[in-house]
Structures are given as C-alpha cells and as structure tokens.
Amino acid sequence: MKIKSGVVKWGLLALFILAGFVQSMAQTVVKGKIVDAFSKDPLQYVSVVFKGGRGTVTDSLGQYTLRSSGNISVILVSYVGYKTIQREIVVGKEQTIDLELETDPKAVYNVTVSTNKRAKYRNKNNPAVDLIRRVIDNKPLNRPEKYDYVEYDQYEKLEVSLSSVPEKLANNRMLRKYQFLFENVDSTKLQGKTLLPVYLEEKLAQKYYRKNPEKTKTIVRGEKRVNYGEYIDNDGVSSYLNRLIMDIDIYDNNIPLFTYQFLSPIADLAPTFYMYYIRDTITDETGNKLIKMYFTPRNTNDLLFRGNMYITLDGNYAVQKLDMFLSRNVNLNFVRELRVDLDFEKNPDGRYHLSKSNVMAEAAVTKGSSGGFFGERTVSFKNYKINEAKPDSVYDGPATVKLEKVDKLPDTFWQQNRHDTLTATESKVYSNIDSLEKMPSFRRTLAFATFLLAGYTSFGPFEMGPAAAFYGFNPVEGFKLRLGGRTTPKLSKRIYFETYGAYGFKDERWKYFLSTTYSLNNKSIYTFPLKFIRASYQHDTKIPGQELQFVQEDNFFLSFKRGLNDKWIYNDIFKLEYVHEFQNRLSYTLGFRNWRHTPAGSIVYNKFNNGVLQNVASINTSEISAQVRWAPKEQFYQGKVYRIPIINKYPIFTLRYTAGVKGLFNSEYNYQNINLRVEKRVFMSQLGYSDMVLEGGYTFGSAPYPLLTIHRANQTYAYQLNSYNLMNFQEFVSDQFAALSIDHHFNGLIFNRIPLLRKLKLRELLTMKVIYGGIRDENNPDKNPDLIKFPELNGQTTTFSLNRKPYIEGSVGVGNIFKIFRVDLVRRFNYKENPNISTWGVRARFKFDF
C-alpha cells in the first residue's frame, strides 16, 4: 500500500507539474471588434496590446486578433481622440471581447489652428520614400519564389450578397413565397447594412512550388458552390467572379482586380505615383519592431490605393500587415467601395509569408444608391512548409489536378477541413439556393430573363431563338423572316439538333439550316471541354468579308448599314467537323466543307473563255481543314450561342490549314491556305493596356478571288474590333498578307488630370490597324485571264488587291460615356481613290465594363 500510495503521490505531483507547464505554455487568444460608441461604425488602426507587452491594430472592419504565450491578464485599447480602455482577460484561453470606444472630451474640445496650404511633397531626402525603396529592393527575398520548395494548404471562400435590400421589396406580396431568402440576412459584417447572401463557393487545395526546374502544382481536395440550374453557366459565373476579385500579391508590380491592373504601393515605380508618410513605430506580438506607413495616390482618380502598411525593421524590410482601400474618386465604374486586408506570419527562417487575404467590394449602378452588391473573397494559408523537397512525381502531369468527386464531398469533410467556420447566415446559402432553383416560378423567371438577354426560350427539350434574328432586311432579300431553334440536353445528352427556316419577300426564296451533333463525352455540346462530331447543311445568304462576333448574321440591328450594301452571295454549304478540347486549353478541329456559292446583288462572276467573256453561274469547291488553338488558362462565360471570353494576360494562338481538292464532289480548284493568328492583352500598369492582334496568311496554288482571303470589313455604324471599320465589303482580297491591330486603352490617364473632365470619368482610346499583302500573278485576274474577273459597278472595279502597299486605318476614341458607350472617330489613311469609300467616320460600341 505504501508503494501504491507513493506512486499515486508522485503521479499526482507529476500531473500538477504537467498542468502548470501546459498552462504556462497555453496560448492566450483575444479577438473581437471595436466600434465607435456613438455611431457604431468600426474603427480602423486601433491599438490593442497586452499591458507591458506586444500588440496589434484593428483592420478595416474594426476586427483584431491578439495572441500570446505569456501570463499577462490585461489588454489596453487606445486610439487618438478616444478614451483608453483597460480590460482583464483569461490567460491561456481563446476569448472574444468586443469594445465600444468613447470620444475623449479633452481631445474633442482642443482648438487646432491649421492652414489650407499643404507642404510640398518631395521624394528626395524623404525618409518614408527611402524606406519604401528598401522594401522594393528586398521584394525578391520576401517572395515564396525565393525558396527552393514551398508547400501549403489553401482555403478560399467567395461570397456575393445583396446589400441593403429595401423593405418594400422584401415584403412585397408577389415575393411572399421567397421569404425564406429575405430572412437569411447578416447585419454584423458591415456596420449599418444588411447583407442577403445569394452566392457562395469554397475551395480547398494543396499547393506545391519547386524552383528548379520551376513548376507549380495544385491538388484540389474539395470544391463546393451554389447551383442555379440549367439557365445559368455556373462554371462561367465562378470564373467571372474570381476574375473580378483575384489573388492579391502585394509584391507584384500590378494587382489585378475588376479586369484592371492596380499599381501596388510597393511596385518598382510606386514612388512616382504614390506619396508616403511614416506614422508610428510599434511592437508586434512577437516582439518585432514595425514601422506604420501611410500611403496615398498623388492623383485620386488613378487606379491606385490608399491605406497603411506595417514594415519590419529586422533587416527583411517585409510587409507584415497591410490594409488598403480605393479612393472614392477613382475612375472605376459601379464599384462603390473596395478594401484589401493582408496578414503575414513569420517563417522559421525569419521571413514572412501571407497567412490571410481578405478582399471586400461593394458595387451599385450609382454610388449614391442605397442598395447594391457586396462581394468578399477570403483566402487563408496553413501548414506552410519551406525547403522540404518532394518527389518529382508530385509535379508530374497538369498544373492543376482535381481529386475524384471533389464537388460531392459530405458536410463532415468541410466541417473538419475549413480554415474557419461559416457563419449561420453563410451556412444556409447552399440549402436556400437549392430550394430556390427547384421552384417552378423561379425557373420561369430565369427562362424569361434568358429570352430577353440571349434570345432563346425553352419548350421542354426544345428552345426557340435567337429572337434578334426573327426579322431583318437587306437589299437582296428585302424583308426577311426567320424562325428556328435547337434541342437541349433534356432530349438527349448525346444527340443535338438545330434548325431554322427563313423567307425573303424580295427575292422570294426560302433559306434553311439543319445540323446534327453527336457528343462523344456524354456532356452538353455547350460545356467545356467540347468533344463532338457535327454535320450541317445551310442554304442562305452571306456578305463576303463580313465577320461577326457574339451575334447572328441575321441580327436585326445589323440590317442598318452605310454606303452601298449590295454585295451578296447565296451559299449552299455542307460541313462535317470534329472538335476536341483538352483541360489545358489546347484544342483542335478537323473538318470537311463542300461549298457552292452563287453571286447576288451587284456581284457578277465573269471570266474569259477562248477570248469571250462568259458568265459563271456559281463556284463549287471541297475543302479539308485542320485547326489547332491554344489559349493558356483561358476562362469564359458560356452563353446560349457564344462563349464570352474573360480576357487575361496570356496569349491565344490559332493555326489553321485548309486545302481545296479538285474533283472531290465536283470541286473545281486545287489550293492550300495556312493562317496564323496571335492575340494578347498587354498590361502597361498606369499607362493602361493594349489589345494586340498579329495575323498572317498565305494561299498556295491558283484560285479565283472568292476563294482567297477577303479581308474583314464593316459597313455598319457599330465599331467592330476585328474588322476594318472604313473598308467596304469585298473591297480587298489577298493570297498573302500580314496584319497588325493595336487597340490601346489609357484608362483615363489624360482625362483624370483635367479638372473639368475628370468628374465624368471618361477614358481615352487609340487604335491603329495595318494590313500588308497582295496577290501573285497566278491569282490576279488582270494577269491570268482564266480566273474570274474582279466585279465592276458602272464600269469601275470595286474589288482590289493591296498592291504591296499597306492599308492603314486609325481611330481616337472616348470610352466610358454614361459608363456603357465607346465612340470612335475613325480615319482611313490611304486607298482614298477607291470608289464609294469614306475617309472619315464616327462609330459607336456598347460595352459594359468596370
């Protein structure tokens, strides 16, 4: 018994010692929110410290988190102009302490004498600028790319809410059945506003980086998001929202947000555009000295931030914390407020890595409207490891890999693996939207909206449209009525049909189209990645040289054209094509086309036969083709008819080869054509960005001019990006050419500095289009009488070669007119002697943009 008693005593003593040790090692965590006692508005940059120890400051939402392994039981909260608060805390526990600060009467009633004259700001001999330059010089050492290996877990949460929904709308009788949505609101996130969540998505991934050879790898472990059903491209919505609010890397020179590039406050050229002020020196919770630096734009209309950053004085000159926001005057549409909070943690080697990123934005049609949209993207990083080598097999294969059933994981997975728990309001979003999507009335509303926006309306497994093509007119067909539609996956996920019928009341002819598509991957043929075989036949009219984007050729609005619009052809086209896309955005298309086209309007096909000019009723050709397209990291929104690209910084390459085979299905000509197109958006920081297109083509063999390259022209009053806006239809043809187009957007660089104009937030545009090419003698009807002659009108030739002299067209424009219009003054610089041309023109374009 004595032995047992001694063992028990020593065991209890060991437990007491262990408990004391654990208590001494337990971490004290204090977090909460600090607001103004009178207005209840959150207070930013409030100092919260352990008494006699280390501290932190509140972020843009007034929130703070304080950690310590010591035994300090009191925190001090202080802020200029407010009474200092002292609060007792429980050591070794995690606790939430929300506080309200009262103004200090001594500070309120102080008399301050000031002047409107501001001291002239200089970079030279400015200690704040000297410090920023040290931060800039040390950027390569403070980035993850400095290490040989990096790995971490990343959790992303993206939420979109309606802000300040009017009570009249929420209580409307017509919306009574949707009351469960309006009841799920959050009034704590933004002071004075209620948020109604309408979209939520989450992603959990493991990230790996290897420096040599450089390679990144992302293994997606989980994905979850709301689903609005068949009427909305849910993948496209996700891509678009994540493109608006992207990952924030403060060490990059430019920060992509809302499709624009914002200059980082620590960019290489930042001291040219920002002003810096040292505000304070503080000690963080780990004992490190930090400099509090305030930064603000020199011009408040530019795409720049203002805010505070905390810079380490340990020799790293790293950013330890950053809170920044946009000026109200910034030249950005619809965005009423934007805030960015970044927090960094210290690595074992003394360097810092990003531990949490939070971006919040509120958008509205007008900045003065009460309601709008609120978006928030939170990214957190855990289990950060440096210089721990992984086998090469980890980096093999594509850069991003998704585990099986990544979007069908149970709730228990997310509860165990989320870096932070969802609020009660956020937790209900998934179930609420799922219930909403199943409601027949909501489906009918989406169907009607789809008809208005995309022009299609559904009737079970069939949808009719597009509405904009139901009616049109032109000089050849007169009034033209058209009706058509297509099947949906409700009929079959494998086989799809599309058709239309049309009738011209002037030419009194029927036109029609029919296609059958077979999906080879059991997915919708409108869902990435595509893999299908399609056969189609079309009997309809077309304008040679007209190329359209995102609209149908029979679109009613394209019926209005300038100048002589009398060059038409009747087409009979049979096409067979195979389309295959890969996840890495590489795709190829193999095709066959038999094409018979008959001239109409002022186009007449004539050629000499034994010295006698004879009429050619039609041209018949059979072509085989192959196309390869690579668009790295391409994102898009899939509409009903077209994909709407979400442009990024990566180039797009398209290589196409076409061969005409004489004798195949009565084909009359042998020829080959190769075409290469490269397009890229080039971001130039504060100078704006340029959309650049480089294109070239060459036709081998001998062929009549309708089978050569007919350069893209535009005779509408709309400004078209890919066409020559003062070139007439079928004005120029080539069998070899090179073209360059540059469309530069200055984003208000000049107008932002003109007092009377900057409030209008207009944006300057400058465009130049050059095409250089020609026709070899064997394809020139003036030198080869066996070919079809260029068409003539009243004895004047109306189709020309470029004669080794480039066609040049330029324009200056003003964008962001009423936030949606672009107007260009276009000038044609040469070939002014051609008949029926315009050397000047005004063109307009509708564009929704931030």
pLDDT digits (tens, 9 = 90+) for 432-490: 999 988 898 888 888 888 787 777 888 889 989 888 888 888 889 999 999 999 998 88
Instruction: For residue 737, give both structure tokens.
Output: 């050419």
**CA atoms of 682 and 689, how far apart (whole Å):** 5
**Residues in contact with 67: Cβ distance below 8 Å, sequence separation at least 6, in sequence order:** 27, 28, 29, 30, 285
Residues of the chain above pLDDT 70, percent: 92
**CA atoms of 166 and 255, how far apart (whole Å):** 34
Q: Lowest-confidence range among 157-171, 302-316, 333-347, 728-742? A: 157-171
**CA atoms of 681 and 124, how far apart (whole Å):** 35
E strands of 558-701, at which residues?
567-581, 586-601, 606-609, 612-615, 619-630, 635-638, 643-646, 652-660, 671-683, 689-701
pLDDT in tens, 354-405: 999 999 988 887 766 777 889 999 999 999 999 999 999 999 988 889 999 9
**Band (23; pLDDT cuts 50, 70, 90):** very low
How confident is the model over 274-292, as a mean pLDDT?
85
Q: Which pLDDT score is estimated for 814?
A: 95
Q: Which pLDDT score is estimated for 482?
A: 93
Say yes or no to pLDDT of 506 above 80.
yes
Short-list 79, 87, 8, CA closest to 47: 79
**Band (2; pLDDT cuts 50, 70, 90):** very low
Ranges 9-18, 165-174, 703-712, most confident: 703-712
pLDDT in tens, 251-272: 999 998 888 889 999 999 999 9
Count the neighbouring beta carbons within 10 Å of the beta carbon of residue 600.
19
How confident is the model over 811-837, as a mean pLDDT?
94
How confident is the model over 415-435, as a mean pLDDT?
91
Instruction: For residue 444, give both structure tokens.
Output: 């009918």
432 alpha-carbon distance from chain centroid: 27
How confident is the model over 56-66, as a mean pLDDT?
80
Say yes or no to pLDDT of 417 above 90.
yes
**Band (758; pLDDT cuts 50, 70, 90):** confident
E strands of 194-334, at which residues?
195-210, 215-225, 254-257, 260-263, 274-283, 289-297, 305-312, 319-326
Q: Which pLDDT score is estimated for 142?
A: 92
Q: Which pLDDT score is estimated for 92?
A: 84
**CA atoms of 50 and 76, how far apart (whole Å):** 6
Say yes or no to pLDDT of 538 above 70.
yes
Count the neighbouring beta carbons within 10 Å of the beta carbon of residue 591.
17
Say yes or no to pLDDT of 17 above 60.
no
pTM of the model: 0.79
Q: Which pLDDT score is estimated for 559?
A: 65
**Band (118; pLDDT cuts 50, 70, 90):** low
**CA atoms of 280 and 343, how far apart (whole Å):** 18
Q: Is the dihedral of CA 109, 114, 118, 122 positive or negative?
A: negative
> What is the longest distance spanned by two Cα atoms in the chain?
131
Q: Which pLDDT score is estimated for 406?
A: 92
Say yes or no to pLDDT of 425 above 80.
yes
3-state SS, residue 462: strand
How confident is the model over 520-528, as a mean pLDDT?
87
Greater model confidence, 305 or 560: 305
How confident is the model over 694-715, as a mean pLDDT?
94
How confident is the model over 232-256, as a mean pLDDT?
84
Short-list 686, 584, 580, CA closest to 626: 580
**CB contact at 8 A, 656 and 675:** yes
Short-list 715, 705, 746, 721, CA closest to 841: 715
pLDDT in tens, 318-335: 999 999 998 878 888 888
**Band (8; pLDDT cuts 50, 70, 90):** very low
Q: Which pLDDT score is estimated for 794?
A: 82
How confident is the model over 578-596, as a mean pLDDT?
95
**CA atoms of 370 and 812, how far apart (whole Å):** 37
**Band (662; pLDDT cuts 50, 70, 90):** very high
What residue type is assigned to position 733 of the chain?
A: V
Q: Which pLDDT score is estimated for 111?
A: 44
Greater model confidence, 753 or 811: 811
Say yes or no to pLDDT of 117 above 70.
no
How confident is the model over 700-704, as a mean pLDDT?
94
pLDDT in tens, 188-203: 777 677 889 999 999 9
State the burial class of residue 770 (Cβ atoms within 10 Å of its Cβ: 0-12, 13-18, 19+): middle
3-state SS, residue 227: coil
Mean pLDDT of the chain: 87
Q: Which pLDDT score is estimated for 739?
A: 97
In which order are the strands placed within the sheet that holds 47-50?
55-57, 47-50, 74-78, 85-88
Q: Which pLDDT score is estimated for 557?
A: 60
**CA atoms of 420 and 230, how far apart (whole Å):** 31
Say yes or no to pLDDT of 6 above 70.
no
3-state SS, residue 612: strand
